[in-house]
Amino acid sequence: MGTTSKALSLLDFFSRAQPLIGLSQMSRLAGINKASTHRLLGELADFGLVEQVTPGREYRLGPAFLRLAALREQNVPMRETAYALLETLADETGETTHMSLLQGEVLSTLAYAYADGHGTLVRMEDAEVLSLHATSSGLAVLAYSPPGFIDEVLSKRLTARTSQTKTDPEVIRASLPQIRTTGIAVSIGGFEEDVHSYAAPVFGANSACIGAVAVATPVSRMTDTLATHIKGRVLASALQLTRGWGGFPPSAFPKPEPEPIPHQSSKRA
C-alpha cells in the first residue's frame, strides 16, 4: 500500500459513532506507529480532509468533504435517486434498506432508509464501510466482479466481524455461483450479530457491478414469507436503480419472479 493509500485509509475509521479520533487511538486502529500516523494525518489536514478540534486535539473529517460532496451531488445526484428508491423499498418490506457503492476495494454506504412499524430496526452509519466478504452487499458485488478482483480480495486477510463471519476464501468462492444464479446474496450474522440481510447488485453503463442494494432485518423477525418478499423486492429495486442511473445488467442476469397472489376462497351469498 502506497503512502497516499495509507493516508486515505485512515478516513475509513471515522463514523457517526466515532466522529472524533485521537492520534494514539488512530495509531492503534490503523496498526501504524504513532509517528507515521501523525505524518499521514498531517498530509490529510493539508488538503482539508481532516482537522484537529477540541482541547485534546482529536481529529475529525475536514471541510474539504463538504465542497467535494456538493460538487458530486450537483453533477451526479446519485444519492437523491438512491434514497427515493430506498424509502419505497423500506415501505414495501417494513425493514431497513441501504445502498452501497464500490470504491476501489471498499464498499461504502451511499444512502439508507428506515421503515415505520417496528420498535427494533437494524441501524446504519453514515458512509459506513461494508466488508466485501462479510455482508450480503459485499458478496453480491464479489459475485459479479472480474475473477482478478475476486482473487485479490480473497487473497488478503479476511477479518471475522462476528462468530458467524465466513473467512475461508474457498467457502466464500464456492458461494458465488449460487449468487450469480439467483442475483441475490444473503448474510446471517456475518457483519453484525443477529442481522439477516439480502442484497442484489447494481450495474453501471458498461454492465460492470458498481454496488448493491440491500434489506436488513433482525434475525428473530425473518420468516420464509418475509424472505421471499424481500428477495423479490430487493432484486427488482436493484434493477430499477441500475436503469435509473443509466446502467445495464449483464444479459444473463436473472429477472425478479412475480410474487404469488394469496389464495382467496370464494363465498356464495
Those residues with Cβ within 8 angstroms of residue 269's Cβ, 6 or more apart along the chain or in another chain: none
Classified as helix, coil or strand, 202 is strand
Classified as helix, coil or strand, 75 is helix
What confidence score (pLDDT) does residue 262 get? 44
Residue 96 CA to chain centroid, in angstroms? 12
**Most distant CA atoms of the chain, gap in Å:** 84
Q: Give the C-alpha distances (Å, rounded to integers) separating 168 from 1, 129, 158, 172, 175.
A: 23, 21, 8, 6, 11
Domain membership of residue 71 (yes or no) is no
User: What's the structural domain count of the chain?
Assistant: 2
Q: Who wins on pLDDT, 1 or 21? A: 21
> What percent of the chain is modeled with pLDDT above 90?
69
In this structure, the answer to whether residues 30 and 153 fall within a common structural domain is: no
Domain membership of residue 254 (yes or no) is no
What confidence score (pLDDT) does residue 16 get? 67
In this structure, the answer to whether residues 59 and 91 fall within a common structural domain is: no
Q: Who wins on pLDDT, 237 or 129? A: 237
Span 36-55, mean pLDDT? Answer: 91
Those residues with Cβ within 8 angstroms of residue 192's Cβ, 6 or more apart along the chain or in another chain: 122, 161, 162
List strand residue ranges (DSSP E) for 127-259, in order: 129-130, 185-188, 195-203, 209-218
pLDDT band at 266 (very low <50, low <70, confident <90, very high): very low
What confidence score (pLDDT) does residue 268 get? 36
In this structure, the answer to whether residues 82 and 151 fall within a common structural domain is: yes
What confidence score (pLDDT) does residue 97 get? 97
208 burial level (CB within 10 Å; 0-12, 13-18, 19+): middle
In this structure, the answer to whether residues 38 and 96 fall within a common structural domain is: no
Which domain, by its residues, includes 109?
A: 77-244
Q: Dump pLDDT digits (tens) for 3-45.
A: 788 888 899 888 767 889 999 999 999 999 999 999 999 999 9
Answer for the pair 207, 249: CB distance below 8 angstroms, yes or no.
yes
In this structure, the answer to whether residues 131 and 220 fall within a common structural domain is: yes
In this structure, the answer to whether residues 169 and 118 fall within a common structural domain is: yes
What confidence score (pLDDT) does residue 76 get? 56
Spatial distance between the Cα atoms of 122 and 55, rounded to a whole number of angstroms:
34
Spatial distance between the Cα atoms of 110 and 127, rounded to a whole number of angstroms:
6
Domain membership of residue 256 (yes or no) is no
Domain membership of residue 109 (yes or no) is yes
Query: What CATH number is given to the structural domain containing 145?
Result: 3.30.450.40
Which residues make beta-bridge pairs with 50? Answer: 61
pLDDT band at 214 (very low <50, low <70, confident <90, very high): very high
The three three-digit cell numbers of residue 146, written as one number = 472480474
Q: Dump pLDDT digits (tens) for 96-135.
A: 999 999 988 889 999 999 998 888 899 988 778 899 999 9
